[in-house]
Amino acid sequence: MIGIISYLAFFGTVASILAIAVLGLNLQWGNTGLFNGGVAAFFGAGAYGAMMLGGPADPLQFGAFELPYTIAFAGGIFLAALVAWAVGLLTLRLRHDYLAIATFGVAVALEAVARNAEWLTGGAKGMRGFPRPFEGLFEDQFTYNLAFLAFVVLILIAVYVGLERLVRSPYGRVLRAIREDEIAARSLGKNATRLRLEAFVLGSAIIGAAGVLYVSFYAFISPQDMAPILTFQIWAMLIVGGAGNNRGAVLGAFLIWGAWTSSGFLLAKFAPTAVQIYTGPIQYIMIGSVIVGMLLWRPQGLLPERIERTKTGNEAPGKTASQG
């Protein structure tokens, strides 16, 4: 029983961290229509940034300033935002698939930097030993893991509530206007270039925050954690959950990560021994089929976007109308 709780807490922590990243991507793609193909880069920037500021001293790696957790946390987010700002300035003139290819290229380039700049990032060996936050306050690992889950869930809720407010605000409506028809938005005097950059930086900062939490939890980061598969996983979560819907983004994160891990678990448990050796490939096929199936039969995702129209009269005041 206790093992199940322990595992579920662990699962919930990882899924919540991924859900935060999906929320960040949802702001970019779901709301603003920016195809970010380099999710892993911003996730990695957050993780490496936090590690360099808060990690332990090690002659092999740069940084290791052992700064307090709050500073490391903020620094990681700042680094992710900074990278996003630079990338955004260069690439946001591009649209759709061109933007996707450009950001994907940036992610691959950054992974190559992390892999090769040994003086900076420890190279392919990665960086380890991030001091787990507040660990001293707890007597045993089990309680600590539950507390860490609570911490991550709190941040997830904060990000969710913040984004919900944002997308319901006039600002959110402008973002959607840019997504739907940029020329129309411009004709109304909206500075689309600037707003696109803002949404891109904010979304990437949220993805960076997920990276910080990831490194806080695993206390280890290596270029392997920035592989393109991460970008694919986050995208799959958003597509299955429902782009444009924050609740869908969180649901997608839990569902896809649940399917990813439980398929391995179930195959290991119930598949005959002779098949066990092939569980890895079978798992890939199953997950791929789920995503293809979703795209074919429910492309809007499990929880599709719900546009709340600004109504006057019978709508409760203060929800949307009063802020417009």
Among residues 26, 29, 92, 115, the one that binds another protein under rule CB under 8 A: 115
Among residues 68, 86, 181, 280, the one that binds another protein under rule CB under 8 A: 280
How far CA 107 is from CA of 242, 279, 316, in Å, comes to 24, 30, 44
* Residue 5 makes contact with another protein by CB under 8 A: yes
Place of tokens 């021994």: 273
Smallest separation (angstroms) from another protein to the CB of 246: 23
Q: For 130, left (φ over 0), alpha (ψ -120 to 50), or beta?
A: beta
* Residue 261 makes contact with another protein by CB under 8 A: yes
User: From residue 221 to residue 260, what is the string marking binding to another protein with x (rule CB under 8 A)?
Assistant: -xxxx-x-x------------------------------x
Report how far residue 174's alpha carbon sits from residue 227's, in angstroms, rounded to the nearest whole number: 33
What's the chain's Rg over C-alpha atoms? Answer: 20
Q: Which is nearer to another protein, 39 or 192 (CB)?
A: 39
- From 94-102, 159-167, 278-286, 301-309, give the range in contact with another protein by CB under 8 A: 278-286
* Residue 291 makes contact with another protein by CB under 8 A: no
Q: How close are the terminal C-alpha atoms of the chain, in Å?
A: 51
* Residue 310 makes contact with another protein by CB under 8 A: no
How far CA 288 is from CA of 133, 150, 240, 249, 266, in Å, comes to 36, 31, 12, 18, 17
* Residue 137 makes contact with another protein by CB under 8 A: no
Report how far residue 210's alpha carbon sits from residue 36's, in angstroms, rounded to the nearest whole number: 16
Among residues 57, 93, 194, 284, the one that binds another protein under rule CB under 8 A: 284
